[in-house]
Amino acid sequence: MSLKLTPLAVALFAIGITPANAQTASGATQQGALPTVEVTATPDATTEGAGSYAARTATVAGKTVQTLKEVPNSVSVVTRDRMDDQNVTTIQDALRYVTGVESIDYGDGTAYFKARGNLLGVEFDGVSMGSGLQYLQQFDLAIYDRIEVLRGPSGVLDGAGDPGGTVNLVRKRALDTFHVSTETQIDSFGSARQMVDVTGPLNKDGSLRGRAVLVGSDGLQSVEGTRKKEVTLYGTLEYDFTPRTTLSVSGGYQVNPISGLDYGVGGVLNSDQTAVTGRLPTSYSRNFSPSWNSSYTSLQEANANLVHRFENGWKSQTSLFYRHELLKADYAYSGEGVTADGLSYYGEQRQRNGYDWFGADTNVSGPVQLFGQTDTFTIGANYALESYTQQSGYVSLNGPYADGQYSVYDPNAVTKTDVPFTYGTNNRVEQYGVYAQGRIHITKPLTLVLGVREAFLQQTSQSILPTASDWDTQAQVNHRFLPSAGVVYDITPALTAYANYSRFLVAQTDTTYTGAGLPPRTGEQYEVGLKGNFLNNRLSATAALFRINDSDRAVSDPDHPDYYVDAGKARDQGFELEVTGQPLPNWNVFAGYTYLNVHYENDTADLTDGTDPKHLFKLWTNYKFTQGPLNNFTVGGGMLAQTRISRGVEQGAYAIFNAQVGYRFNRHVSASLQLNNMFDRRYYLRPPGSFYSVFGDRRNVMLTVRSDF
């Protein structure tokens, strides 16, 4: 008996992945021909293969697909085409080119992300994981279809969290036609990366579909002596029980070992060691850490989504999400500060952190006829749990110079020692709530968007080292009502005006001198804007004005040192402009500008707040020639420019320019050559404070070859 497999099944077996329930394909086909597949998937916001930087829809502002013009909020979408054109493979690089977003590397393969003066939260396919983005390793972007970014509070759908906004990472789905793509990248630092992506039907009628993505990379970095490796595996299956009911499951695994890990150095301290006065003179590729520094991160996740589409237009969906992350690191770093001749104290830090996230979201949505208008309502509930254990130890190292200091110019003189774990905690953050959102059409051009949430949150911790203790409640929120309201007015078919108001809350873990926990930070955002779609919807433009009032912030108690009171206030305000899409059929462009003014009352900025530039401009463009002597060539490039920032040491205004040229050899193979930081601008992504600093990449060249079959 002969076994006949679909093309995807053959490809999966070839790379060593066996699809679950692989079935034989009945019916004869000509050799090399693909079987006929019936498309059963419903339309969604997928951007893969669209050929444009402009996404017309997104899901981050609600639990259903909505056109961006219908959303009374600022939303940006990084499409699969833009990720490919820019050759970005990390969440840091992708968000660095999103309007209004600050992406600040932390030196260990992680970063922190801000918008409108505040940290960003995260969703994975619409399931909220409030603490799952900042300072944490993320999956390679090869597994994602798009990145949606909503700027401003989204507490109605996500619960408690910083008001900067929400990043929604949307995974690739299995396709109903067979497709294989590869991507090979090498750069002038010595890095090499290979990606293989296989998708298609797994049975004859296409009701079962699968996808597998494999990524491996190894290479040196802009900072000398730092080497990062990566292996990523991702797989997903979709099954249509009926034409209206679909179950999707996916899983991912990734490891990221780093050797020569470097957090940089602090700035030069003044004579009495009280303030940072200047940066340390150096090349912008120097590694200030010993070569034995290392870290290892592993990620595993699983996701399931069940969708049923009713005949009356209503839809029910339930999603479950689990992720585990393990971090092991052993490294030496310098601080506090550096002397003018390059001397500093060093200490060795050892860490072992384990994180577990679980999230669930269930909702129903659909149309309702009211007063001759069709309105849309969504009702749901979600739950998020983060449990993590942190263990660390620190040993001061004795150097050969004055008072036991080392020269930061000779970090390999720092010898490794044995560091026991001396500090450890168990932590648990649990939040849940019910929510509702309605789009009510008052008149034909005017829509009212209302949202409500009843929020619950509990944050607890327990010491496990040096001694064990009972669990202690650090923050508690019960029955907190979070409203939002927005209006959308269609001025013309191409131009829409909107306004919104939303409340937020952020749990705080600081305590008063009596031992009581501080109440949550609270506040509101006001935003007005215009959205337009032009040139038959090929080009989109957005302009927005916003103000965020942030109250009850923890500040030091003037009467009781080492304790806090909820007396701080902050105001973040500014405006944003964004243009994205295709001015001409073969020309893609993205441009975004942000003005941000951050003001504090009875409060001071922490170290991350010093990285808020007042002006921020981003651009990327690509043009494909389809005729004449340049047929099959592409040209493109971009820039990022920002004004000064400071964390004690000032980083002056700078602009980074990139250029790219590409060529399509045939319908299956293309290549591009990209020159990054073409004028070799030297700058800090994260300027020095008392500790740490991160250089921006110096000039480099990247060659990318892609194939599609």
- Cα(369)–Cα(375) distance, integer angstroms: 6
pLDDT of residue 21: 36
Predicted model pTM: 0.91
pLDDT of amino acid 604: 62
Q: Does residue 162 or residue 17 have the better pLDDT?
A: 162
pLDDT in tens, 237-261: 999 999 999 999 999 999 999 999 9
Please give the share of the chain, as a percent, with pLDDT higher than 70: 93
Q: How far is CA 85 from CA 89, 222, 260, 660, in A?
A: 11, 21, 30, 9
602 C-beta neighbours (distance < 10 Å), count: 11
Q: Give residue-wise pLDDT tens across range 561-589.
A: 888 998 889 999 999 999 999 999 999 99
In eight-state DSSP terms, residue 541 is: E
Mean pLDDT of the chain: 90
Q: What b-and-e string marks burial along 254-267, b requiring 16 or more CB atoms within 10 Å of the CB?
A: bbbbbebbbbbbbb
Joined tokens for residue 476: 């508690």
On the question of pLDDT at 217 being above 80, the answer is yes
Q: What is the pLDDT of residue 608?
A: 52
Amino acid 248 reads S
pLDDT above 50 for 9? no
Instruction: Report pLDDT for 252.
Output: 98
State the chain's maximal CA–CA distance in angstroms. Answer: 85
Residue 362 has pLDDT above 60, yes or no: yes
Examine the pLDDT at 302 and tell me if it is beyond 80: yes
Question: Coil, strand, or helix at residue 228?
Answer: strand
Q: What's 38-96 look like in SS3?
A: CCCCCCCCCCCCCCCCCCCEECCCCCCCEEHHHCCCEEEEECHHHHHHHCCCCHHHHHH
Per DSSP bridges, beta strands 472-492 and 495-506 are antiparallel
Q: How confident is the model at residue 606 (pLDDT cuts 50, 70, 90)?
A: low
Of the listed ranges 385-399, 479-493, 600-614, 649-663, the least confidently predicted one is: 600-614
Q: What is the pLDDT of residue 507?
A: 84
pLDDT above 90: residue 483 = yes
Confidence check: pLDDT of 38 > 60: no
Tokens for 187, please give them: 């750069």
Helices assigned H by DSSP within 100-142: none
Helix (H, G, I), strand (E, B) or coil at 132: coil
* Strands 118-124 and 165-171, sheet pairing: parallel
Residue 34's pLDDT band (boundaries 50, 70, 90)?
Answer: very low
Residue 36 has pLDDT above 50, yes or no: no
pLDDT attached to residue 155:
82
Both tokens assigned to 488: 């959308």
Work out the average pLDDT over 190-217.
97
Q: Percent of the chain having pLDDT more than 90?
A: 77
User: Of the ranges 35-49, 431-445, 519-533, which one carries the lowest mean pLDDT score?
Assistant: 35-49
Residue 22 has pLDDT above 80, yes or no: no
Q: What pLDDT shows up at residue 170?
A: 97
The pLDDT confidence band at residue 403, using thresholds 50, 70 and 90, is very high
Average pLDDT over residues 516-539: 92
Q: Which residue has the higher pLDDT, 337 or 655?
A: 655
Q: What is the CA radius of gyration of the chain?
A: 26
Most confident range, picked from 153-162, 180-189, 562-571: 180-189
Asked if pLDDT for residue 32 goes beyond 70, the answer is no
Q: Give the lowest-confidence range in 44-48, 280-284, 351-355.
A: 280-284
pLDDT of res. 31: 36
Are 676 and 263 a contacting pair, CB within 8 Å? no
pLDDT for 37 beyond 60: no
Average pLDDT over residues 226-232: 97
- pLDDT, tens digit, for every residue of 51-63? 999 999 999 988 8
pLDDT for residue 98 is more than 80: yes
199 touches 191 (CB < 8 A): no
pLDDT tens for each residue of 437-477: 999 999 989 999 999 999 999 999 999 999 999 999 988 89
Q: Is the pLDDT of residue 15 over 70?
A: no
Interior angle at CA 453, CA 148 and CA 78, nearest 5: 0
Asked if pLDDT for residue 23 goes beyond 80, the answer is: no
Better pLDDT: 20 or 230: 230
More confident residue, 158 or 237: 237
**Measured between alpha carbons, how far is 251 from 356 in angstroms, rounded to an integer?**
15
- When pLDDT is cut at 50, 70 and 90, the band that residue 18 belongs to is very low
pLDDT for residue 185: 98
**Apex CA 339: angle with CA 336 and CA 344, to 5°?**
45
For 67-84, the pLDDT digits (tens) are 999 999 999 999 999 999
